[in-house]
Structure 1
Amino acid sequence: MLLSLLLCYGGFTALCLSMDRHHAELLGGKPTAHRRRLLKLGGWLLLVLSLWAAVSSSGWGLGLVEWCAVLMLSALLLVLLMPYRPRLALSMAAVSLLVSPVAAFAQY
């Protein structure tokens, strides 16, 4: 479940950064069309990988329920952090993507 949470948070942050306003606020300047497409693709890929991680660890029945809970928790965390601590939200996304391989090896 930890791996799913880390991947979901990274995916939602990538999708957030694909928007002009958030990209300008966090990274300075608007994203190019190519960068926007890469961020969207990366975000959706991370969300799909989080689904795979949840289902592979708990099966389809409980894995989908866990994945929905992790989706809501990570989105809520990002929504609460963006207005007040946007740099912390970006730092947490970077840490989550760095820690996710360790969580993957710990899971299997």
Structure 2
Amino acid sequence: MWLPLFLCYGGFTALCLSMDRHHRDLLGAKPSPRRRRTLQIGGWLLLLLSLWVAMALKGWALGLVLWSAVLMASGLALVLLLPYWPRLALALAGVSLLLSPVAAFVPL
């Protein structure tokens, strides 16, 4: 359950950083076109990887339900953190991506 959550949060944060306003707010500069495209592709790949992991963990039917719940939870966390604590939102994305390999091998 933790691995899809970490991957979704990282994917949503990458997609968020691909937008000019959020990139400027969090990192202080407008993203270059290459960086924007890389963040978009990386974000979508992380979301697709989280879908694959959820279906591998729970099967086709329950995996889609788990993935939908994880999408909502990670999206809500990012939406609530971004306006009030943007640095925390960015730090949590880094921590979630660093903990992803650990979550892959720890059964919970």
TM superposition score category, shorter chain reference = over 0.9
Using the TM superposition, give the Cα deviation of residue 4 of structure 1 relative to its aligned residue in structure 2, in angstroms.
0.3
Task: Give the structure 2 partner of residue 67 of structure 1.
Answer: 67
Using the TM superposition, give the Cα deviation of residue 105 of structure 1 relative to its aligned residue in structure 2, in angstroms.
1.6
Structure 2: give runs of 5+ residues left out of the alignment.
Answer: none
Task: Give the structure 1 partner of residue 2 of structure 2.
Answer: 2
Task: Give the structure 2 partner of residue 103 of structure 1.
Answer: 103
Distance in 2 (alpha carbons) for counterparts of 1:26 and 1:61? 37
Task: Give the structure 2 partner of residue 89 of structure 1.
Answer: 89
Q: Say which SS state the counterpart of residue 77 (structure 1) adopts.
A: helix
Distance in 1 (alpha carbons) for counterparts of 2:106 and 2:83? 33
TM-score by length of 1: 0.98
Does residue 32 of structure 2 align to residue 25 of structure 1?
Answer: no
Task: Give the structure 2 partner of residue 35 of structure 1.
Answer: 35
Distance in 2 (alpha carbons) for counterparts of 1:105 and 1:57? 12
Distance in 1 (alpha carbons) for counterparts of 2:52 and 2:105? 15
Identity over the aligned pairs, expressed in percent?
70
Distance in 2 (alpha carbons) for counterparts of 1:82 and 1:45? 22
Distance in 2 (alpha carbons) for counterparts of 1:14 and 1:84? 18
1:49 counterpart letter in structure 2: L
Distance in 1 (alpha carbons) for counterparts of 2:29 and 2:103? 33
Give RMSD over aligned pairs: 0.6
Structure 1: give runs of 5+ residues left out of the alignment.
Answer: none
Distance in 2 (alpha carbons) for counterparts of 1:105 and 1:42? 22
Runs of 4+ deviating beyond 4 Å = none
How many aligned positions are there? Answer: 107
Task: Give the structure 1 partner of residue 50 of structure 2.
Answer: 50
